[in-house]
Structure 1
């Protein structure tokens, strides 16, 4: 099983033409890989994450998902603000073919937002929203997890809980992590890629990849 990118381009219209963010990327992420994605601000790291997850489609090329791939953890992908946290959890369960009751119980317990779980998401504070999003993200067991910046929702105890759950969920799953912090990349990843000029440069030596990134 693998996540395969074949000549993936992603462009956006700008005044007077188009801007190419990803320029013909080819990559294979195997089950069990743990890859840090590094690059300067604006390099296209978050765009790459959205394309890999299927939240956005490539302008050209193909993404083949031979294993289940998460949306970027903690993001609001698919969240309906007019629905309650519980209804959003039901939606996720049905989309991914999970037991609805188990999913509801997990998300409610993990998010720790009390009775707000049954209130419309639009009434949530930013902190409650972050907790719900992490609960929804961990409710589904994926073969490949995408993390765009390390988990930071909630207080330190909740952040630690999220990090522990991420480590538990990874097991023999794959990880693709975007972070500006070398310590986070070293903690979770074994190899690195640097996104530069719309292309990926692979570094099997993690420290070498970090050094290249820091020299940009």
Structure 2
């Protein structure tokens, strides 16, 4: 279980303190898949970073009784001067897992070829994302944090990512940030909508997506009209 209690997150700006998250309370149970919606800048990615431990909250507490992945395809933890292979080795040492079978998996899944033995600083953003996703799949986490990761690469690679994540890890908890209604509806059973730094929870996808569309100024006259358009 992961529990957030009265979590806030503020950032300084040229116009004063920006209050991104305001008193968030959320509990994530094993095996749940939670979809997250909200307009750009609403705090979705911030929430993912806080749960992963990449950043601390300004106030409140986050209790983790499950192992949590870093945000999938997040490459900010890579050492640019090291090769892709050396970064795999480094991650394996941190998590205390055997390097050799995991390197073989990363090599085959990422399809980076000889670039795995080149410094990560020479990679394109897409190559870094492929490496990050492949490494994420080498460690068995209880909860995976997904921030639009499956937009990485061509359709064939995205299909492989879906199989690896949603079929082979179907018993894992997941938090999924996405703007795709098909992606969220097909993979989630709980939904969170960000509004002015707070979250509303819904179990009805059509209702939460209707509100989200209203929020970003692409509203439909009714939920029925939206459903017709989605289908």
Q: TM-score, normalised by structure 1?
A: 0.95
Distance in structure 1 (CA, Å) of the matches to 2:66 and 2:196: 28
Q: Which residue of 2 aligns with 1:30?
A: 29
| Structure 1 residue 55, shift from structure 2 partner | 0.7
Distance in structure 2 (CA, Å) of the matches to 1:43 and 1:169: 31
| Structure 1 residue 118, shift from structure 2 partner | 1.2
| Superposition pairs of residues 133-212 of structure 1, within 5 angstroms | 133-212=132-211
Distance in structure 1 (CA, Å) of the matches to 2:147 and 2:201: 18
- Does the Cα contact within 8 Å between 2:9 and 2:58 map onto a contact in 1? yes
Unaligned runs of 5+ in 1: none
Greater radius of gyration (CA): 2
| Structure 1 residue 134, shift from structure 2 partner | 1.5
Q: Which residue of 1 aligns with 2:120?
A: 121
Distance in structure 2 (CA, Å) of the matches to 1:185 and 1:71: 20
- Does the Cα contact within 8 Å between 2:4 and 2:27 map onto a contact in 1? yes
After superposition, the Cα gap between the structure-2 partners of 1:102 and 1:195, relative to the gap in structure 1 and judged at 3 Å, is same
Distance in structure 2 (CA, Å) of the matches to 1:163 and 1:144: 16
Matched, 1:14 2:16: no
| Structure 1 residue 147, shift from structure 2 partner | 0.8
After superposition, the Cα gap between the structure-2 partners of 1:155 and 1:139, relative to the gap in structure 1 and judged at 3 Å, is same
Q: TM-score, normalised by structure 2?
A: 0.89
Distance in structure 1 (CA, Å) of the matches to 2:175 and 2:161: 16
